[in-house]
Amino acid sequence: MIALFTDFGLNGPYIGQMQLAIWRINPAAHVVNLFADAPGHNVRSASYLLPAFTRDLPDDVVFVCVIDPGVGSVARLPIVATIDGKHFVGPDNGLFDVLVQRASKSFKQEIIWQPQNCSRTFHGRDLFAPIAAHLDQATLPRDWLGTEQQFSMAEQNSDLYEIIYVDEFGNCMTGISASGLAADEKLRVGDRMLKRATTFNDVAPGTPFWYENSSGLAEIAVNCGNAAGALSLSIGTLIERVKL
């Protein structure tokens, strides 16, 4: 299986073009559009979303990850990252740093293969998708990748106390692992203190709260409402942990 993790959005031709590039090489590939609307150009937020949405998937899934504002430049290299046995194809621009920080074993290899007529602005279709297609069917030529190297990355916190994603309902994911928060802990957003709830129905309609979402992240919501609108939240809004 090949899973796509991108900031392309659901509209437009880009997801479809990547799928076709994979099927041209590997017609039997099962391609899943795992995440199509990661925050645009926001590598930092995406780096915290990526572990949450790939953690429980099996090792034989190949992940194609394209949050790549520096596409086509020499500022970042195209790589295959092998992190705790899973393969991730994408740019070496910090997108994989949180995964690497939490991993027990990881290394990367530069993609040195250069396809003909490779667009400088769409490596997702012309470079990353073909590499993933070959990885999935174990036909990737050895000379398409460079030697194994260790990641060199800046130290960063294991959690990010910010809003990193807002869904169409106005629910706001944070970069905080809910498992590290006590049941009675509150989160402060601006001048609002939010209590923890288990489900939406634990609080009255119109009440804001936070909960552990299905991917293990602390998420802010309003029962039968829009948390982003009600609390003026957006990507990058700071969250404060309040210990009692």
Burial class (CB in 10 A: 0-12, 13-18, 19+), 147: exposed
- Cα distances (Å, whole numbers) of residue 199 to 11, 83, 204, 211: 31, 33, 11, 7
Give the per-residue pLDDT at 244: 65
CATH number, domain with residue 233: 2.40.30.90
Mean local confidence (pLDDT), 50-55: 96
pLDDT value at residue 184: 92
pLDDT tens for 136-163 read: 999 999 999 999 999 987 667 789 999 9
What is the per-residue pLDDT for 75? 85
Domain range for 68: 2-144
Give yes or no: residues 98 and 131 share one domain.
yes
- Residue 5 confidence (pLDDT): 98
What is the pairing mode between strands 31-35 and 2-6? parallel
Domain match, 66 and 180 both? no
One domain for residues 94 and 212: no
Residue 7 confidence (pLDDT) above 90: yes
At 108-126, the pLDDT tens digits run 999 999 999 999 999 999 9
Q: Cα angle vertex 32, ends 24, 233, to 5°?
A: 130
Please state the domain count of the chain: 2
- pTM exceeding the 0.85 threshold for the entire prediction: yes
Residues 23 and 75 in one domain: yes
